[in-house]
Amino acid sequence: MSIIWAIFVKDLRVEWRNREAVASMCVFGLLVVFLFNFAFETGREETLRMLPGLLWIAFAFAGILGFNRSFAAERDNSCLEGMTLAPIDPSAIFVGKLLANLLFLGGAEVVVVFAASLWYNFSFVPALGWFALIVLLGTLGYAALGTIFGAVAANTRMREVMLPVLQFPVAFWVLILSIDATSDALRGMGRKANTAGAARVAGLSLIFAVVSFLLFEYVLEE
């Protein structure tokens, strides 16, 4: 646990010093929500239909920026390789970086949701519990994929382009399920529908997280 914590704290410290990841994620997420607000005149029903997809698009693109930055710091002086010199389980590196990515993306999501509630004049409060749970579960799966694909892309030449090319085809499924479940939550569907939606997102995210955890060791191989 101390290894995971050390990697997590190191990532927070690096981010606090350069403020590159979270700032760019927030700005990008806000721009997506802002531009859509001007592109479409929305009433309550249109907002309900559009908002889940819009939010997850903003989360997805903001996440890509964050995952790229997360591994840029590791790439600069071959720090990821430096970590592998230590007698630690490579999956500890994965978990430490996943926790940091979750925190950064979670922070950006709070800012985006707050802005969306203002610009679309939409209250998330009635569905906040289910909405927060689904966003958390979907973000877990998405960030797990971003952490492993970020490590893969870090070793390629066109890494900024490579990450979305690798990530989106796989993350598509967790995004689709998350949009669907978010839509149900915001529409105030019953407990049964929300539980089923959250369970589907949780199941897929758990699969992605476990598979990424198990495969990370091989990604670190030269």
- Residues near other proteins (CB under 8 A) are 2-3, 6, 10, 13-14, 17-18, 73, 76-79, 81-88, 221-222
Minimum distance, C-beta of residue 6 to other proteins, in the bound complex (Å): 4
**CA 96, 101, 102, 104 torsion: positive or negative?**
positive
User: Minimal distance in Å, beta carbon 3 to other proteins?
Assistant: 6
CB 160 within 8 A of CB 166: no
- Which CB, 24 or 84, lies closer to other proteins? 84
Q: What does the alpha-carbon distance between residue 152 and residue 211 come to, in Å, rounded to a whole number?
A: 14
Nearer to other proteins, 84 or 155 (CB): 84
Least distance from other proteins to the Cβ atom of residue 144, Å: 22
- Using only C-alpha atoms, the chain has a radius of gyration, in whole angstroms, of 18
Q: Residue 95's closest CA among 208, 3, 205?
A: 3
* Structure letter (DSSP) for residue 86: S
Closest to other proteins by CB, 5 or 40: 5
Q: Which is nearer to other proteins, 83 or 112 (CB)?
A: 83
CB of 92 to other proteins, least distance (A): 9
Q: Write down the residue that tokens 């490590």 correspond to.
A: 151
First to last CA, the chain: 26
